[in-house]
Structure 1
Amino acid sequence: MANDWKKTARGTALMVLEDVFDNGAYSNIALNQALQSSAMSQKDKSLVTELIYGTVARKITLEWYLAHYIADRDKLEPWVYYLLMVSLYQLLYLDKIPAHAVVNDAVAIAKNRGNKKGAEKLVNAVLRRASQEELPAPSSIRRKNKRLSVLYSTPVWLVKKLSEQYGDERAETILASLFVRNKASIRVIDPDKLPGIAAATGAELSQLSPVGLVKSAGHFVATDYFAEGDITIQDESSQLVAPTLDLQGNEQILDACAAPGGKTTHMASYLTSGHIIALDLYDHKLDLVKDNAKRLGVADKISTHKLDATKVHEVFAADSFDKILVDAPCSGIGLIRRKPDIKYNKENQDFNSLQEIQLQILSSVCQTLRKGGIITYSTCTIFDEENFQVIEKFLASHPNFEQVKLSHKQEDVVVDGCLAITPEQYQTDGFFIAQVKRIL
């Protein structure tokens, strides 16, 4: 039957990639939707996941290789090009499946997917050449930024930006680290249960978070510990945010950009009589905060409000809060390992407009903080415009605030009194945390 290709692992991967590349769908969401409605075996679902994330992560590299075999990609139907990309990814990066099987599968899909004759011949010819001839070498590209762009499948502007901020050597180390598989990472709610849960799940203690466990791979969500609220999924770097607020238990706290609620519930775990007001712009995101709070047994400590964080001072009175968390909207560049689409959806000019929003949020929330209160500012990005520069500019325009210097046992993540973690250091998300205190 002609439609059987849709039920195969490679056919499913092709349909998801069409959605990602043609419609701008997020790969993780499009993938989850495809797998939920599929009757494939777990092994095939794992292959689909590998094919989609791998093809998206290596997109620029794969396009560079294909340019050696295809004179004009615009003459191809997009799905034919994506089929070549996903098949080439298999040929180059997955060694469990023999080359002839990859080629034959691709040809079969081309035969059944298309309504024009000839697609299967082109697919067959290109993939046979790619699997039998010596491949061109990206290392031979003369221009440094272009070479690194192709080697690490990262747009030239982003390669350039990383090099400018971190120097060539560290920039390349960061880029290479983004292809190291993302760890599964959890926060354990009761620290006393850490050793037991570690032993039962085969996980290791986090090097960064005192309440974190990590595994190279694993589905913690499927465990009883998750169902019973003993653990929650949270990257190690993000677990460092709540402890910086030094919560005593009785504070009134504002979480200005709360969804999906990982840090909100972490802060709530320290509270006795205190309370958190959690804000977000969208109802469906606030629902995620509520769901998280309920599962972890802290729903009574959290109230959700739909509000733009730049308008906090218009809604809440002066001196309303003891402590405030601004986990600011940001470019998300620190999340590339988990969300490779981010590389292709950002442009350089984003950073300045994001900085404006970040400063607007800080300028609004700081008006509702009591004297002596602290604001923790965090992002999941690694660029100065959204991190150090935001804190510098905020302090320059708010003389009633001073910086609070943060520390950590891993001294390599402490930079100028802030925590600045890049993805290659501990194979975590890239992350930034700073803190300011109201002194007048």
Structure 2
Amino acid sequence: MPKKTPRYLAVEILTTITKQKSYSNLALDQVIKKEHLNPQDAGFLTQLVYGVIQHEYNLDYYLKPFIQKPTKMAVWVRQVLRTAVYQLVYLDRVPEHAIFYEATEIAKQMGHVGTAKLVTAILRNLQRTGLADLNQIESPLERLSITYSVPEWLVEKLQADLGIEKVTQLLTTINQPANASIRVNTRLNSVADLLPQLQEQFENLVPSQIASVGLVAQGGHLASGPAFEAGSYTIQDESSMLVAPSLQIQPTDQVLDACAAPGGKSTHMATYLDAQQGGRLVALDIHDHKVRLIEQNAKRLHVEDVIEAQALDARKISTKFAAETFDKILVDAPCSGLGLMRRKPEIKYSRQPADFINLQKIQIALLNAVAPTLKVGGQLTYSTCTIVPEENQQVITAFLAQHPEFTVVPVPLELPLTQNQATPFVQIYPDDYQTDGFFIACLQRKA
């Protein structure tokens, strides 16, 4: 049996992600739980997996001169090499002899002695020759693309939207480790009460600067421990915690979450509702297994009394719900997810320019479908975890052109956003607060 060290597991995970197009965070969580890794090993594994994916173009650029037949190289061999070079370039506390030795051992375990010799030869050649100088790349766009490991077309797109200064700042930060953030379940406890309890387990946990119910740590595996299992908190990014407060939900409200899975925002909105006063939240998702996930999260967080999860495409909502049923509606729309590049770095490699327009059609269709079910005077919040105007401001503009009975209202905030880029909307970029990129717009239905 192979010795499943963090480096070995990192190669396995990276190979699986490449072949199956799976998300890094899900693959990591599964392996950490399965292998019962201690916090130190789990942290190192997480660092390796995210680091290699984040710097993929960069690592391949350094390796290119030393690989004679790249198209014939097995995926796992490429991942062994990337993992080793990532450590050599980006981790200054890891001894070179440990990197070389374990890369060779992994190659033996996953392949054979011949493969191990190939891996060793490539790494030794790179060590002797040194790294290629990225400043020698003539094209500015290609240089940014290779330096920050982002497809060149996307660099060009973001530069056109944001300007060279902002896009350089954004790209510089997306490859930094993501913070670990949690949302305190105010149904059970307050931030002030829970923080000192959790600091015994997570020493560097501090209050969020943008979300009143958020706590943040620089890394760490927070989805564990008695408080998590008891539902005292849940894992959620800081920027997405701004969505529920934006709706200004009252205890008696009838609320619709049109695209609810896995239920993070649903369970947050549910904390404002009171079942005894008739408050209710309908949480929709297309897939049955995701509806079950919403129900599981609602139960763990003790808000199942107000959440009614259903399998339904929100574009067909008129088949189940009458006009003017809901006081508040959230459309947290399917999107390109480019705001998640730090947390899910594989996203930047999988997107194509056509995605923005294709997704925009779905986003507008969702808004058009749910709009009649909102009561006059009610509020609709539209949100995405992306940073391109095609899926954000342009969607709102198109919707308002078709629905003059709706008007834009400023997004209510519990804490000031000094870096907000899009008043009266909220547009957060990943470099603004070291969170996910996020967009929020609030609309009110007039008579």
TM, length-normalised to structure 1: 0.94
- Name the residue aligned to 1:238: 240
Deviations 1:248-279 (A, max 9, x none): 21111111011111111111111122111110
Q: What code does the residue aligned with 1:123 have? A: V
- Name the residue aligned to 2:434: 427
Verify: 1:136 aligned to 2:132, yes or no.
Answer: yes
**371-380 or 185-194, which moves further after superposition?**
185-194
- CA drift of 1:354 comes to 0.3
- CA drift of 1:404 comes to 1.1
Q: Distance in 1 between the 2:10 and 2:221 partners?
A: 21
- Name the residue aligned to 2:280: 275
The answer on whether the counterparts of 1:407 and 1:417 sit within 8 Å (CA) in structure 2 is no
What is the 5 A alignment of 1:79-94? 79-94=76-91
Please, which runs of 5 or more residues in structure 1 have no aligned partner? none
- CA drift of 1:195 comes to 2.1
- Name the residue aligned to 2:216: 214
- Name the residue aligned to 1:152: 148
Identity of aligned residues (%): 44
Verify: 1:67 aligned to 2:35, yes or no.
Answer: no
- Name the residue aligned to 1:33: 30
What is the 5 A alignment of 1:48-127? 48-115=45-112, 118-127=114-123
What is the 5 A alignment of 1:250-269? 250-269=252-271
| One of 339, 344, 368 as aligned partner of 1:339 | 344
Please give the root-mean-square deviation of Cα atoms over the aligned residues, in Å.
1.9
Deviations 1:101-127 (A, max 9, x none): 211222233234325x63223211210
- Structure 1 stretches of 4+ with a deviation exceeding 4 A read 39-42
Verify: 1:390 aligned to 2:388, yes or no.
Answer: no
The answer on whether the counterparts of 1:91 and 1:131 sit within 8 Å (CA) in structure 2 is no
The answer on whether the counterparts of 1:406 and 1:417 sit within 8 Å (CA) in structure 2 is yes
What secondary structure sits across from 1:325 in the alignment?
A: strand
The answer on whether the counterparts of 1:17 and 1:82 sit within 8 Å (CA) in structure 2 is yes
What secondary structure sits across from 2:211 in the alignment?
A: coil
Deviations 1:309-365 (A, max 9, x none): 111123211111111110111111111111111111111110000000000000000
Q: Distance in 1 between the 2:418 and 2:44 partners?
A: 39
Q: Distance in 1 between the 2:407 and 2:36 partners?
A: 57
What secondary structure sits across from 1:305 in the alignment?
A: strand
The answer on whether the counterparts of 2:39 and 2:220 sit within 8 Å (CA) in structure 1 is no
Distance 1:108 1:271, change over 3 A: closer
What secondary structure sits across from 2:215 in the alignment?
A: strand
Q: Distance in 2 between the 1:46 and 1:240 partners?
A: 28
What secondary structure sits across from 1:71 in the alignment?
A: coil
Q: Distance in 1 between the 2:214 and 2:9 partners?
A: 35
| One of 164, 182, 198 as aligned partner of 2:178 | 182
Q: What code does the residue aligned with 1:235 have? A: D
Distance 1:64 1:355, change over 3 A: same
The answer on whether the counterparts of 1:185 and 1:235 sit within 8 Å (CA) in structure 2 is yes
- CA drift of 1:42 comes to 4.7
What secondary structure sits across from 2:305 in the alignment?
A: helix
Distance 1:216 1:287, change over 3 A: same
Distance 1:282 1:361, change over 3 A: same
What secondary structure sits across from 1:323 in the alignment?
A: strand
| One of 9, 12, 16 as aligned partner of 2:9 | 12
Relative contact order, CA 8 A, sep 6+: which one is greater? 2
- CA drift of 1:4 comes to 2.3
- Name the residue aligned to 1:229: 231
| One of 339, 343, 363 as aligned partner of 1:358 | 363
Q: What code does the residue aligned with 2:93 have? A: K
Q: Distance in 1 between the 2:48 and 2:394 partners?
A: 38
- CA drift of 1:36 comes to 3.4
- Name the residue aligned to 1:404: 409
**52-61 or 182-191, which moves further after superposition?**
182-191
The answer on whether the counterparts of 1:310 and 1:365 sit within 8 Å (CA) in structure 2 is yes
- Name the residue aligned to 2:297: 292
What secondary structure sits across from 1:232 in the alignment?
A: strand
What secondary structure sits across from 1:222 in the alignment?
A: coil
- CA drift of 1:40 comes to 5.6
What is the 5 A alignment of 1:193-212? 193-202=190-199, 203-212=205-214
Q: Distance in 1 between the 2:268 and 2:280 partners?
A: 12
What secondary structure sits across from 1:235 in the alignment?
A: coil
Distance 1:219 1:87, change over 3 A: closer
Q: Distance in 2 between the 1:304 and 1:362 partners?
A: 19
The answer on whether the counterparts of 2:246 and 2:412 sit within 8 Å (CA) in structure 1 is no
**211-220 or 380-389, which moves further after superposition?**
211-220
The answer on whether the counterparts of 2:55 and 2:175 sit within 8 Å (CA) in structure 1 is no
Deviations 1:204-263 (A, max 9, x none): 221111221111133433243323322222111111111111112111111101111111
What secondary structure sits across from 1:412 in the alignment?
A: coil
- Name the residue aligned to 1:309: 314
Q: Distance in 2 between the 1:222 and 1:406 partners?
A: 33
Deviations 1:133-155 (A, max 9, x none): 33111122111111011111111
Q: Distance in 2 between the 1:221 and 1:42 partners?
A: 12
Q: What code does the residue aligned with 2:115 have? A: A
- Name the residue aligned to 1:381: 386
**212-221 or 424-433, which moves further after superposition?**
212-221
- CA drift of 1:14 comes to 1.7
Please, which runs of 5 or more residues in structure 2 have no aligned partner? 200-204
- Name the residue aligned to 2:202: none
- Name the residue aligned to 2:326: 321
Verify: 1:24 aligned to 2:21, yes or no.
Answer: yes
